[in-house]
Structure 1
Amino acid sequence: MGRYFHRKGLFEEALTHYDAVVFTERELGKNATVTGWRLNALFNLGEIRAAFRAINQLLADADRETWIWPWCARQVAAFGRTSVEAARGALGFWQRYVQAHREVESARVNLLLTQFYLRQEGADIGKDYAAFRVEFDDNVAYVEPEQAALVWDRLGHWAQDEDNWTEAERCFRIAYETDGGHYGYCLGAALNFLGRYEEALPLVLAQAQGIQPDAMSWFQVAVANEHLGRTKAAVDAYRLALVLNPDYSLAMFNMAGTLWNSGDREHAAIVFLTAARQFPDHDLTAQLRGDFPELF
């Protein structure tokens, strides 16, 4: 009856039936199966601590029931990054899984992604970037290219958050060279930040023209062109970014600055005034009023 309610998504009712089931010691396999379904219901109900207690109960019998590790791993992969509480439990689970099954790639990927998630949510994972890199290098060696690209990209964002753009570029490059595609955006943006505009332009242009044709990609195209002295291409790219996102304040201010620096002061003043009116509380509006009071 519990499975009937489970399939219907009625997890409270399912849990009531699972909790009422009693088996003898000779029926260990059936008891473990009920616990397996019970922990899934607990996860679905947001009962995180109870779900991980059920996992620990199951793992005590994992040497006799081969399905237990894979089943628990599927549950933790599905629910382990839904909250900080869940991720803390998931981290311990994946550490235990890797110790027991060192060859399982998915366990290593989830171990890394769980730590990235916790850090992103502001939780202390007990190690800085340098210490994490040691663990990262040990785990990523077991990971296939597609998943490896994902974790290298996440590592690059950590380096970026610490303003270590040289390291970020290295990580983003590995991600891009491993799986290409949308990973070119972060690599191109890092190259722009490092002043390597010639290298950045083809990468961000490919994003803007097809892979990720959004305002951010066109903004990066504009930045590269602006610093390469291609004023018209830069202004056109800033304009496209603003078409896609009219509230992209930095694109509007940058476009005005590019026009101003090129000598087209008349058009630059119009764009500056438009930006100041549209974004009156922006820091650049205050700076603009101080530097060019005559425009107002």
Structure 2
Amino acid sequence: MSRRTLRRGFAMAFGPDSLFDYGQTDPGLSVLRMAALLAEADGDPDEETLDVLFEQVEAGHLVDADPAQMWPELVRGLMSPAPSRLIKTLRDCGALVEILPEVAALFGVPQISDGEEEVDLGEHLMRSLDAAAKGGTPLAVRFALLAMNVGKSDSPREHLPVHYRHVERGRPRIEDICARFRTPAECKALALLALAECERVHRVSKMRAGPVALMLERLGAFDAPERFQELMMVCASDFCAHAGREGKPYPKAALLEIALKACAEIAENDLEARQSARAEAIARAFRSERWASEVG
């Protein structure tokens, strides 16, 4: 496939001036660039455009492409109004398995859901990215959604749709993705935090004030509030990706916000005393019967 043919494919989708600098673009990078551009456009690519991309992938142009040079194009697609189109286009032309094999492996893998039916992790990933885009979330949040479930792709079949020990499998994979693309430190940090904590946040209960206090400390709510808020965005986007929840408020974020405000005036220097005071304050805020029965 010649550069002239590929340029024609871009021009058909975006107009004759869309790749005025194409001559400076590596053929492998151009595949990801077009997928990123498609994520910014309305509608899906036509068959001819996908054929152009597929032939570029088949020709092996992605094999030697530098992931670090791909990163700006990946960022462009993730920060678009419809990041799912980035993932879908890359998958449809066979590029996703070359660029992000850890993400490609999630398609077809089931996960338990609150509804009657299981969800496909790959499809759920795309919906969560679009939910994050609608919320105007920063890059770190969208990258965390992209990466946080990669440990679930090879869960033992006998355990599905439950994913035991996916955190242990996911951590080195996220670290490898971040090393390949040379992602910013904040992207890696939030992705690893989401891997470890997102499902715990989904399960948080107002009946357990002590664990909530410890969770807030673990999540950095007191000393790293920006990262804590970004994690809430990750969890909310993941929540809204489930059927029937699109656009709905995330109740666990509201619960943790109540707990955080309850601890605002606590200033004990002793760690044990501080944790105990926070748990008591949260229990009062939650009107926790569990706490009352334990201390009564």
TM-score normalised according to structure 1 size: 0.36
Q: Which has the higher contact order (CA 8 A, sep 6+)?
A: 2
